[in-house]
Structure 1
Amino acid sequence: MAVHSAVPPGRSLPAHARDLVRMHEAVIGGGRPQVPPRPLVSRSWSRALSLGLAADSMNERDSVSETEVVRRRHASPLRQVIGDLRQVIGAMSDAGHMLLVVTDADGVILWREGSSAVRRRADTLGFAEGAEWTEARVGTNAIGTALAEAAPVELLAGEHFEQNQHPWYCTASPIHDPRTGELLGVIDVSGPALTLHPAVGALVETGRRLAESQLWHSHRQRLERLRRAGEPVLAAGPALLVDSDGWVAHSAGVAVGERIAVPRPGQVLAVPGLGACLPEPLGDGWLVRPAGLARQVVLDLDLGRAPVLSLRTGETGWRRPVTRRHAEILVLLGKAGHQGLSAEALSRALHGDADHLVTVRAEVSRLRRLLGAIVDNRPYRLAEDVRLTVHPGQ
């Protein structure tokens, strides 16, 4: 999803920045501005006001210790790509006016890169490593609002909730794990408001794409190492070799797509085409082989007050609670049949529009961690050997 510019086409940047500051003064003062805030900004300001944040002063910042920053950096997959992101920003002619910031999924700043001058200006806002830069702490800002809206955000001058952030622009986009869809953090480029360039949004989007592409490349390399290590064991088939997240490194005698459910010790998996399987640890992954002769997978979804999904294949199976959203997705996929649904169609069915693609993909990815190849993609649909029965409940 592209970053929408904070400056309308044809508008002068200095004039628009001044109008946004006047807009802030009017709205916060209870008046009616000549230039109304964008819906994105209105929603964020409403959240900030409901939290009791002050617009005319710097709200109390919250930071983690240096030791905690180091721990979070080491735990973050984004540590693999921060060097590449620095190179992308450093290649810009205006890099001296830019501050690159990368946070984790909690909005805690883990890395900050920029000239000493722009870093000193950021320090006066508490915009430094370890700071929690969420809406709940600092009001409307690109990082916190991107987390709240689950979408890229660009803000200019008076669109920030705190007045002391008005001399700035900020452009941010969430970064997701391409394997799981989980939010990993946010990439942000900020700088003096009147240095905002139309290319900044594209720069942030390039950084996001680069990060996710590099993470996916590393994932494929790990799968290849797992395949080379375990391929001799699969010669007899049918069987699968998968990593700890259920991604298929190698298959023999069965075609199941790219992913199955996440293997767990002693827990039966239902794999379309293989039926009930009991995963066995093998090096850094799992060997998955049939535990019986049954091949069809039967799902029963109970839509009671707390949805429950039952899975059965042959004489084995399990019963687990699922979220209301995952229950809705399963019902929609069951109705769609073999034709399935695109991400856009699923977004319209769940949210009424096609603007929630990132959210939809993340939800389906979480569902596939539970069910694996039972839920197929491209398009989203239930696998061929799966039968779903829905019980409406009370």
Structure 2
Amino acid sequence: MRMARSELQTRRMDAVRAWTSFVERGDDAATLVRPEILSSWTRSVAAITPDVCEAPLADESETAAYWRGSPLQTAVERVEAELRRTAEDGDLVVAVTDPETRILWTYGGRVMRRKAETVNFVAGGRWDDQSVGTNALDLANRHTAPATVFSAEHYAPIVHNWVCWAAPLHDPVTGTHLGVIDISTTWDRTHPIGLATARVLARLIETAMPVSNAHPVAGAADECSQSGLVLRLLGTAETWLDGQRLLLNRRQTEVLALLAMHPEGLSLEHLHALVYGDQAVTLSTLKAEVSHLRSALGGQLSSRPYRLSMPVATDVDLVLSLLRRGRVAAAVDAYGGDLLPGTNSPALTELAEYVAVAVREALLADPQPDAVVRYCELAPYDTEVVEACLARLAGAPHPAVPLLKGRLAAAQR
């Protein structure tokens, strides 16, 4: 449900008072705004004046060349219909940037498109805070974490009527930061799920990344760089083949997940045991599911043993790979939740527990505050991880502390 207008107006007036106190009177606004906003305001005031009327534009040909060479272009093209539909349905403007907060691609609903063009919220626009002041795109890029900037939390008055939500975009395997996706609209259309929507769109783009960038497979030919299978199994089940989403039933997804986890192949009997355990399900039932899968995969599922004959990437492999390299924050960001929640496959139930415990133990050993905040969204009652993080901070100031204490209090009620 959209926030009540009276509540939004109060929030907007508070933001304007804080901005006026800091920008026009030079007062300390430490108690009035979030630390990341105050830090960005400080950078902004040292670099630009509040009367900036538009973002500066980068060289058009250079921007176009960068976009053509970026894996983000392929990913965005694969999901562009969904991005455009989101923008049109919510009258939003959607933008994808590089790591320097230069906009590479954008699309807007009818009203927001016009507003965006007047301030150079367009391809080539430089939206780092030292070019145009505090905004969500810059914060998400700078901190590689989702960010919201509401109304006068923006430094430049030209966007005081906006609310922006941004989420970082990463290479799904290496964790390399590629830029951010941002969705923006007018402040009075603020919605509680705005930031969650930005995160979902970020995951959508990351899932659609070219296989050569997302998950190089040992022995795969270079010609396969634009093809392959991508499975999202953590939290939400999604399957993509060559950038096109496949519509599979739950059992077919489970079979596909098990085949992805066993690249050496599985016999019919072994696959049956992993999928059904001791359930009274016939081999012919499993054969029928495999037959449907083979058709959906264009025949790229061989028999005797059953084996996938294409490059495969899964978010399970990504999370475990990041954990092995000690990249705990990136692993938590890639961890969408329990593996296929509700599955009754004994093998997948065991794998789900393994992944969940591995993520949790990594956080207990290295409770990075931002990663713990993200983890708490998925496991809100895991107080031990929150307590470990607060103990590590030992009273040191950090923007995550109020969120962690609030989560702890809510879980203990």
- Tell me the TM-score range normalised by the shorter chain: 0.5 to 0.7
**% identical equivalent positions:** 28
Question: What is the rounded CA distance, in whole Å, between the counterparts of 1:228 and 1:65 in structure 2?
Answer: 32
Gapped regions of structure 2 (runs ≥ 5) = 225-262, 265-324, 329-357, 374-413
Of the three residues 210, 228, 231, the one matched with 2:204 is 210
Q: Closer, same or farther in 2 for the Cα pair 1:225/1:87, shift >3 Å?
A: farther
Report deviation, 1:30: 2.8
Q: Highest Rg: 1 or 2? A: 1
Name the aligned partner's letter for residue 68 of structure 1. E
Give the equivalent residue in structure 1 for 2:47: 52
Task: Give unmatched runs, 5+ long, in structure 1.
Answer: 1-6, 231-249, 252-325, 330-338, 359-394
| Alignment-derived partner of residue 128 in structure 1 | 122
Is 1:80 matched with 2:74?
yes
Contact 2:74-2:209 within 8 A present in 1 as well: yes
From the superposition, tell whether residues 25 and 115 of structure 1 become closer, same or farther in structure 2 (CA, over 3 Å): same
Could you tell me how far apart the structure 2 residues matched to 1:98 and 1:225 are? 43
Cα RMSD, aligned residues only: 4.1
Alpha-carbon separation, structure 1, partners of 2:184 and 2:222: 44
TM-score, length of structure 1 as denominator length = 0.54
Q: Does the C-alpha gap of structure 1 residues 167 and 200 become closer, same or farther in structure 2, counting only changes over 3 Å?
A: same
- Residue of structure 2 equivalent to 1:285: none
The residue type equivalent to 2:18 in the other structure is M
Contact 1:168 1:191 in 2 (8 A): yes
Matched with 1:107 is 101
Aligned mates of 1:221, 1:33 — CA distance in 2: 45
Once residues 69 and 22 of structure 1 are traced to their aligned partners in structure 2, the CA distance between those partners, rounded to angstroms, is 37
Q: Which residue of 2 aligns with 1:176?
A: 170
Separation in 1 of the partners of 2:198 and 2:135?
Answer: 15
Partner of residue 14, structure 2: 19
State the shift of 1:148 in Å: 1.6
2:33 maps to what in 1? 37
Q: The residue matched to 1:179 in structure 2 has which SS?
A: coil
Q: Structure 2 length normalisation: TM-score?
A: 0.51
C-alpha distance in structure 1 between counterparts of 2:109 and 2:5, whole Å: 30
The within-5 A match list for 1:306-317 is: none
1:91-240 matched pairs, under 5 angstroms: 91-92=85-86, 95=89, 97-215=91-209, 223=217, 226=220
Q: Quick check: 2:3–2:191 contact (8 Å CA) kept in 1?
A: no
Aligned to 1:66: 60
Kept in 2, the 8 Å contact 1:140–1:161? The answer is yes
Please state how far the C-alpha of 1:143 moved relative to its aligned partner: 0.6
1:257-276 equivalences in 2 (<5 Å) = none
The one-character-per-residue Cα deviations of 1:279-303 (angstroms, maximum 9, x if unpaired) are xxxxxxxxxxxxxxxxxxxxxxxxx
Q: Which moved more, 1:84-93 or 1:154-163?
A: 84-93
2:305 aligned residue: none
8 A contact 2:91–2:109 mirrored in 1: yes
Aligned-partner SS, 2:370:
coil
Deviations 1:324-372 (A, max 9, x none): xx99x9xxxxxxxxx9995424644xxxx432579xxxxxxxxxxxxxx
**Runs of 4+ off more than 6 Å:** 7-11, 32-35, 227-230
- Seen in structure 2, the aligned counterparts of structure 1 residues 8 and 36 have a Cα distance that, compared at 3 Å, is farther
Aligned residues: 248
* 8 A Cα contact 1:110 1:129, kept in partner: yes
- CA deviations 1:95-129 (Å, max 9, x no partner) are 35200000112211110101343222112222111
Deviations 1:257-297 (A, max 9, x none): xxxxxxxxxxxxxxxxxxxxxxxxxxxxxxxxxxxxxxxxx
The residue that corresponds to 1:377 in the other structure is none
Q: Which residue number corresponds to residue 363 of structure 2?
A: 344
Deviation at 1:181, TM superposition (A): 0.8
Cα distance in 2 between the residues matched to 1:8 and 1:211: 28
Residue 215 of structure 1 deviates from its aligned partner by: 2.2
Q: Say which structure is richer in helix.
A: 2
The 3-state SS of whatever aligns with 2:208 is helix
Mapped contact 2:140–2:147 kept (Cα < 8 A)? yes
1:233-269 per-position Cα deviation (integer Å, ceiling 9, x unaligned) = xxxxxxxxxxxxxxxxx89xxxxxxxxxxxxxxxxxx
Deviation for aligned residue 1:9 = 11
Question: Could you say if the C-alpha distance between residues 229 and 26 of structure 1 is closer, same or farther in structure 2, counting changes exceeding 3 Å?
Answer: closer
1:83 is displaced (CA, Å) by 3.2
Q: Is the 8 Å Cα contact of residues 157 and 167 (structure 1) preserved in structure 2?
A: yes
- TM-fit CA distance, 1:153: 0.4
Is the 1:85–1:211 contact (alpha carbons within 8 Å) kept by the matching residues of 2? Answer: yes
Q: CA offset at residue 89 of structure 1?
A: 3.7
Question: 1:175, CA displacement in angstroms?
Answer: 0.3
The offset of 1:42, in angstroms, is 1.3
Distance 2:91 2:28 in 1: 34
Deviation string, structure 1 residues 113-162 (Cα, Å, up to 9, x no partner): 01343222112222111112111211110111111222110110010011
Look up the equivalent residue of 2:126 and give its one-letter code. E
* Inter-CA distance 343–64: structure 2 relative to 1 (3 Å threshold): farther
Aligned equivalents of 2:126, 2:150: Cα separation in 1? 20
1:354 maps to 2:369: yes
Shift of 1:200: 1.6
Distance in 1 between the 2:59 and 2:223 partners?
A: 41
The residue correspondences of 1:230-309 to structure 2 (distance < 5 A) are: none
What letter corresponds to residue 214 of structure 1 in structure 2? Answer: A
